[in-house]
Amino acid sequence: MSGVRVSVGTRKGAFVLTSDGKRERWDVNGPHFGGWEIYHLKGSPADPNRLYASQSSGWFGQVIQRSNDGGKTWEPVGNQFVYDGVPGTHQWYDGTPRPWEFKRVWHLEPSLTDPDTVYAGVEDAALFRTIDGGQKWQELPSLRDIKGHLWQPGAGGMCLHTIMLDPGNPKRIFIAISAAGVFGTDDAGKTWRPMNRGLKSQYELPDPDAEVGHCVHRIAMHPSRPGVLFMQKHWDVMRTDDAGESWQEVSGNLPTDFGFPIDVHAHEPDTIYVVPIKSDSEHYPPDGKLRVYRSRTGGHEWEALTKGLPQSHCYLNVLRDAMAVDALDPCGVYVGTTGGQVYASADAGNTWAPIVRDLPAVLSVEVQTLP
């Protein structure tokens, strides 16, 4: 019987949760790298036992770990992230120019076809790639040519947090940066274009529909329909049907359209999930109720999913990389919270149960569906 592996990054280490296809009983393995921040770990679609993890610490900096046995054992690989050439400057919070400075890896996106090729999204925002299993990392520098001097950090830092590889076109990549926006390439990273037309940030930017500067929190796609992207922006849930050329708001009847993660059902390209959060200054669910919202219509019409989720006195957050789906039938949905819970639904969100309740604050959740 097939199974699932849920890789969880937390403020104080990584955990690997495994179950069979029923997803009722779970084995919890960890902490790995105890005491270190694990912003993200993710398995290779081309080799399920190959995992990469971003391990970092305010004291000791950035480490990249690689596993060849599904997360049981790990080895450190290359951790040198050097911006290409003279890195130049971006905007600082006070509007002054500030030199680019590497801080950490937020997101690792393994290639869809080659287990040794991985993309890394970093803070200060840039995209790196390895083609040798993580030993050496090289920047794809032309991304920062797209008005990079105007990019400015959000409160969480100027991070490149989302990397989406088009399964139908190996040269097409979408990335998202907080707070710069969405950018896309059709030539494997040689040239990039901003893809923010239709975004409106009237409370965040002096020019609400600026070409760059939007605080995009997360974007998602269904692999069968890579021209349709969904976005959770700082405020607003958005959708594009033309591969990022233009965006339309689909927040509809959500109780609030602020939030961080967004994801797509594995088998229904128009079924999407978000976790509404009260506001940008109150990072917890409205009314003290943790509700995942599901739209079966690609946006506009949303239903609250509450069964098994805390519906009183709940004041945690779900961060941008802390939602994932598995590819079983019915589709499984997973969310990790800053309160240390990982909730799982084995029925596409209808009912939920915690896999674990007391981990450190969860930074990321990824799922592999195993043969």
Partner 1 sequence: MIRVVLPAHLRTLAGIGGEVTLDVGGQVTQRSVLDALEARYPMLRGTIRDQVTQQRRAFVRVFACEQDLSHEPPDAPLPDAVATGAEPLLIVGAMAGG
Q: Under the rule (CB under 8 A), what is the footprint of partner 1?
A: 35-36, 57-63, 76, 79-80, 82
Residue with Cβ nearer partner 1 (101 or 287): 101
Report in angstroms how near the CB of residue 102 gets to partner 1 at its nearest: 9
Output the 3-class SS for the chain: CCEEEEEEEECCEEEEEEEECCCCCCEEEEEECCCCEEEEEEEECCEEEEEEEEEEECCCEEEEEEECCCCCCCEECCCCCCCCCCCCEEECCCCCEEECCCCEEEEEEECCCCCCCEEEEEECCEEEEECCCCCCCEECHHHHHCCHHHCCCECCECEEEEEEECCCCCCCEEEEEECCEEEEECCCCCCCEECCCCCCCCCCCCCCCCCCCCCEEEEEECCCCCCCEEEEECECEEEECCCCCCCEECCCCCCCCEEEEEEECCCCCCCEEEEEECCCCCCCCHHHCCCEEEECCCCCCCEEECCCCCCCCCCCCCCCECEEECCCCCCCEEEECCCCCEEEECCCCCCCEEEECCCCCEEEEEEEEEC
Residue with Cβ nearer partner 1 (133 or 194): 133
Report in angstroms how near the CB of residue 59 gets to partner 1 at its nearest: 4
Residue with Cβ nearer partner 1 (139 or 166): 139
Report in angstroms how near the CB of residue 135 gets to partner 1 at its nearest: 10
Report in angstroms how near the CB of residue 94 gets to partner 1 at its nearest: 21
Residue with Cβ nearer partner 1 (60 or 203): 60
Report in angstroms how near the CB of residue 58 gets to partner 1 at its nearest: 6
Report in angstroms how near the CB of residue 163 gets to partner 1 at its nearest: 22
Task: List the one residue out of 66, 68, 62, 16 whose CA is nearest residue 39.
Answer: 62
- In angstroms, rounded to a whole number, what is the distance separating the alpha carbons of residues 368 and 193? 31
Report in angstroms how near the CB of residue 88 gets to partner 1 at its nearest: 16
Report in angstroms how near the CB of residue 35 gets to partner 1 at its nearest: 6
Using an 8 Å Cβ cutoff, are 106 and 159 in contact? yes
Residue with Cβ nearer partner 1 (12 or 197): 12
Is beta strand 173-178 parallel, antiparallel or unpaired with respect to 342-345? unpaired
Residue with Cβ nearer partner 1 (54 or 251): 54
Residue with Cβ nearer partner 1 (26 or 33): 33
Sign of CA dihedral 28, 33, 36, 42: negative
Report in angstroms how near the CB of residue 50 gets to partner 1 at its nearest: 19
Using an 8 Å Cβ cutoff, are 38 and 64 in contact? no
Residue with Cβ nearer partner 1 (65 or 201): 65
Residue with Cβ nearer partner 1 (63 or 344): 63
Residue with Cβ nearer partner 1 (79 or 306): 79
Report in angstroms how near the CB of residue 177 gets to partner 1 at its nearest: 23
